[in-house]
Amino acid sequence: MKIDILTLFPEMFTPLQSSILKRATDNRILEINVINIRDFSLDKHKKCDDYPFGGGAGMLMTVQPLYDAIKSVKQENSKIVFPSPRGKTFNQKIAKDLSTFEHLIFVCGHYEGVDERIFQLYDIEEISIGDYVLTGGELPSMVIIDTLSRFIDGVISEESLLNESFSNGLLEYPQYTRPAEFMGLKVPEVLLSGNHQEVEKWRKEESLKITKKNRIDLL
Ligand SMILES: C[S@@+](CC[C@H](N)C(=O)[O-])C[C@H]1O[C@@H](n2cnc3c(N)ncnc32)[C@H](O)[C@@H]1O
């Protein structure tokens, strides 16, 4: 999959160059390009924002640099995403759907947002990462990219996707690793028993318990 990220702040994307996403790009499963929208501004000072017509707080990103930046990367099969508090709320299903595209373009808003005409010029899906307001679309883009990447073949093991929160409508059960005892705290006996049926039963019960406690809405 190819992902182009359009932003006024390319330096914010260094976290994508480590850990699992680094391995995925090193292995050419993923190609991620970060493109500076400012490079497309026709303004002599490379300005990319202006005051909103009708008044109001803050600045808006202007439409021309955004339009040209998208045009420079858009192909026939591209899906364009604009992270925004106005969008539908992101979840595992949306991440899985996005992971099936060959080419994604993320457009990062900043300041008070963008000139609305960009949504008339291109078919753009707005996606929110939650009911709160961040300073820009850079962190939300990274959240969405990180999440959808996990669904791309070869990025993580299939087993990891099967047994985790939301995969079966529940939150994940508690997990433990060595040592079997730490500061007097012992790992639940059943996990050391080698009885796979009992382990599965215990995990299901614990999943239900934690889902009831933290996310009753999922049940
Ligand atoms: C300060 S916000 C603008 C908020 C906008 N004035 C509003 O009230 O909806 C600047 C940018 O951050 C991004 N952003 C902020 N909160 C977000 C969220 N919850 N989900 C996704 N993107 C968000 C969007 O790209 C947005 O254009």
Ligand 1 pocket, mutate which of 84, 105, 143 (most atoms under 8 A from CB): 84
Ligand 1 pocket, mutate which of 133, 141, 144 (most atoms under 8 A from CB): 133
Q: Which residue has its alpha carbon closest to ligand 1 atom 11?
A: 136
When pLDDT is cut at 50, 70 and 90, the band that residue 83 belongs to is very high
> For residue 160, what pLDDT is reported?
85
Reply yes or no on whether the pLDDT at 164 is more than 90.
no
Summarize the confidence of residues 136-145 as an average pLDDT. Answer: 98
Quick one: what percent of the chain has pLDDT higher than 90?
96
Reply yes or no on whether the pLDDT at 132 is more than 90.
yes
In the reported structure, the alpha carbon of residue 113 is separated from the centroid of ligand 1 by a whole-number distance in angstroms of 7
> For residue 125, what pLDDT is reported?
98
Where in the chain do CATH 1.10.1270.20 domains reside? 166-218
Ligand 1 atom closest to the CA of 109, numbered from 1:
25
- Which of the listed CATH numbers 3.40.50.720, 3.40.50.150, 3.90.1150.10, 1.10.1270.20 matches domain 166-218? 1.10.1270.20
Beta-carbon contacts of 13 under 8 Å, excluding residues fewer than 6 positions away, are: 5, 7, 32, 34, 138, 142
Q: Is the beta carbon of 110 within 6 A of some atom in ligand 1?
A: yes
Supply 15's token pair. Answer: 């976290």
- 2-158: what fold? Alpha/beta knot (3.40.1280)
Beta-carbon contacts of 106 under 8 Å, excluding residues fewer than 6 positions away, are: 3, 4, 5, 6, 81, 82, 83, 137, 141, 144, 145
Q: Which residue has its alpha carbon closest to ligand 1 atom 6?
A: 112
> For residue 7, what pLDDT is reported?
98
> For residue 182, what pLDDT is reported?
98
Q: Please state which of the ranges 29-43, 49-63, 77-91, 152-166 shows the lowest mean pLDDT.
A: 152-166
Q: Which residue has its alpha carbon closest to ligand 1 atom 7?
A: 85
Closest CA to 207 of 176, 169, 161: 169
Reply yes or no on whether the pLDDT at 152 is more than 90.
yes
Separation between Cα atoms, residue 209 and residue 64, nearest integer Å: 52
Distances in Å between the Cα of 42 and the Cα atoms of 34, 38, 103, 167 are 20, 9, 26, 47
Ligand 1 atom closest to the CA of 107, numbered from 1:
25
> For residue 158, what pLDDT is reported?
87
